[in-house]
Structure 1
Amino acid sequence: MDRDPGNGRRAIVLAAVRSLLAAGVLITAYYLLPLDSAFTVGTVIALISGLTAVALILFWQVRVIMSSPRPLLRAVESVSTALPLFLLLFAAVFYLLDHSAPESFSEPLSRSDALYFTMTVFSTVGFGDITPVSEPARLLITGQMAVDLVLIGVAARVLVGAVQEGVRQRNRAAGDGENGPFAA
Structure 2
Amino acid sequence: MDPLSETPVPDASLPVSRREAWRLGTLMMLRVAMSVSLLLAAYFLIPTSASERRADVPWLVVELAVFAVVVGIQVPAVVRAKHPVLRAVEALAVIIPLFLLIFARIYLETSLRDPSAFNEPLDATAALYFTVTVFATVGFGDLVARSQSMRTLVSVQMLLDLVVLGAVIRLLLTAARRGVARRVDEIGRQGGAQPGA
Using structure 2 for the length normalisation, give the TM-score.
0.83
Q: What does residue 141 of structure 2 align with?
A: 128
Distance 1:97 1:46 in 2: 12
Runs of 4+ that moved beyond 4 A: none
The letter for the 2-side match of 1:5 is R
The letter for the 2-side match of 1:133 is R
Q: Please tell me whether the aligned partners of residues 35 and 96 of structure 1 are also in contact (alpha carbons under 8 angstroms).
A: yes
The letter for the 2-side match of 1:40 is R
Distance 1:88 1:39, change over 3 A: farther
Q: CA deviation at 1:169?
A: 1.0
Distance 2:140 2:151 in 1: 16
Q: CA deviation at 1:112?
A: 0.3
Q: Cα deviations across residues 146-166 of structure 1 (Å, max 9, x unaligned)?
A: 111111111011011011111
* More moved, 131-140 vs 46-55: 46-55
Q: Cα deviations across residues 63-86 of structure 1 (Å, max 9, x unaligned)?
A: 111111111111111112211111
The letter for the 1-side match of 2:90 is E
In structure 1, list runs of 5 or more residues that go unmatched. Answer: 177-184
What is the aligned-residue identity percentage? 35
Using structure 1 for the length normalisation, give the TM-score.
0.89
In structure 2, list runs of 5 or more residues that go unmatched. Answer: 1-12, 190-197
Distance 1:118 1:5 in 2: 38
Q: CA deviation at 1:7?
A: 2.3
Give the number of the structure whose alpha-carbon radius of gyration is greater.
2
Q: Does 1:150 align with 2:163?
A: yes
Q: What does residue 91 of structure 1 align with?
A: 104
The letter for the 1-side match of 2:149 is P
Aligned mate of 1:40, from 50, 54, 59: 54
The alignment yields a C-alpha RMSD, in angstroms, of 1.6
Q: CA deviation at 1:40?
A: 1.9
Q: What does residue 80 of structure 2 align with?
A: 67
Q: Aligned pairs, how many?
A: 175
Q: Please tell me whether the aligned partners of residues 39 and 93 of structure 1 are also in contact (alpha carbons under 8 angstroms).
A: no
Q: Does 1:137 align with 2:153?
A: no
* More moved, 77-86 vs 21-30: 77-86
Q: What does residue 14 of structure 1 align with?
A: 27
Q: CA deviation at 1:6?
A: 2.2
The letter for the 1-side match of 2:91 is S
Q: Please tell me whether the aligned partners of residues 62 and 159 of structure 1 are also in contact (alpha carbons under 8 angstroms).
A: yes
SS in 2 for 1:126: coil
Distance 1:138 1:39, change over 3 A: farther
SS in 2 for 1:175: helix
Distance 1:167 1:52 in 2: 28
